[in-house]
Amino acid sequence: MHTKLTYFTLAFFLFTIFSESKAQENHSLTVNISNIKDNVGLIHLAIYRPDDNFPYEGGAFREYNTKAIKGSTVYVMENLPAGDYAVTMFHDENQSGECETNFIGFPLEGYCFSKNFKVFLSAPPFSKCGFTLDEDKAIDVKMRY
């Protein structure tokens, strides 16, 4: 009886450890950004979850900056919990920390969204740009000016 209890306790302990490690599994997202017009300023990236205020500034799950490199650059977002996400980027040429817009709200600096969503008259909904991150993943986006 004592041996059975020991095996049961060991099995339960191992199952608990395995279950917790799967539930807390993190991944990386590699963002390949192309069509960057020059080396001036920064590329600002923001990643959103479904309940965040997508795609508005201040509502992101996490935000990052990287140096603008004419042509293309790669940025890796590390330690993201598995889940659904959408990404926005803009070329912060004047390093103001904000995407400059005209009087009707259209971006004056380069911008792009995951899934390369093309903006028409308004910002896209999360559903048009969202993707599932359940393993390490790479996405390709093209900056629009």
The region of weakest confidence among 22-31, 55-64, 102-111 is: 22-31
Whether residue 16 has pLDDT greater than 80: no
| Residue 115 near residue 128, CB atoms below 8 Å | yes
pTM of the complete model beyond 0.85: no
Amino acid at 5: L
Q: CATH code for 26-142?
A: 2.60.40.10
pLDDT at res. 19: 47
Residue 20 backbone dihedrals phi, psi, to 5 degrees: -65, -40
Whole-number pLDDT of residue 6: 52
> Where does residue 37 rank: exposed (0-12), middle (13-18), buried (19+ CB within 10 A)?
middle
Q: Please tell me the distance from the alpha carbon of residue 44 to that of residue 92, in angstroms, as a whole number.
A: 6
pLDDT tens per residue across span 67-126: 999 999 999 999 999 999 999 999 999 999 999 999 988 899 999 999 999 988 888 999
Summarised one tens digit per residue, pLDDT across range 117-143 is: 998 888 899 999 999 999 999 999 999
CB–CB of 113/56 below 8 Å? no
